[in-house]
Amino acid sequence: MSNVEETIARIYTINFSKAWLTPKHKRTDRVVNMIKEFAIKHLKSSQIKIDQDLNRYIWQKGKTNPPRKVRVRIVKDEDDQVIVSLYEDVINESISASSTKEDSIDLNTESSNTNDNSSTKDIDKESNTKLK
């Protein structure tokens, strides 16, 4: 049975309501500590690592305004090392939102470019007729 990898992966939603009891300028620091405490409590390991995407998501709005709750995926490997990462649904939503914004920007620039080209053609026609 030593061939079987003993990785445990679980998905949790962590509520950070107690972070608002701390002073305003320390809230996001408290949220990071709450994530570590949560992982220690639920997976019984002292080696906790927070994924870079999760860290960026938490710090996105600055030091005084962290998210109220976050959905995380916690993975514990054979070496009792726990990695806390952002759950994929949140990542996919942010990617799709940013891609739709980029698509709408591209469409707006293309339509303005076509309007500019037609107006320059009209001006060229007028200037050609005046020259003749």
Give the tens place of pLDDT for each residue, 71-91: 999 999 988 899 999 998 756
**Predicted confidence (pLDDT) at residue 2 exceeds the cutoff of 50:** no
pLDDT tens figures, 14-41: 999 999 999 999 999 999 999 999 999 9
Domain boundaries of the chain, sorted by first residue: 8-86, 89-132
Q: Average per-residue pLDDT in the chain?
A: 81
Residue type, 117: N
Nearest to 64 by CA among 15, 17, 27: 27
| Radius of gyration in angstroms for the set of CA atoms belonging to the chain, rounded to a whole number | 26
The answer regarding whether domain 8-86 maps to CATH 3.10.440.10 reads yes
**Cβ neighbours, 10 Å, residue 28:** 22
Across the chain, where does the E strand assignment appear? 8-15, 47-50, 69-76, 81-86
Q: Strands across the sheet with 81-86, in order?
A: 8-15, 69-76, 81-86, 47-50
Question: Hey, what are 115's tokens?
Answer: 């309007």
Question: How many distinct helices (H) and strands (E) make up the chain?
Answer: 3, 4
Which phi and psi (to 5°) does residue 67 adopt? -65, 155
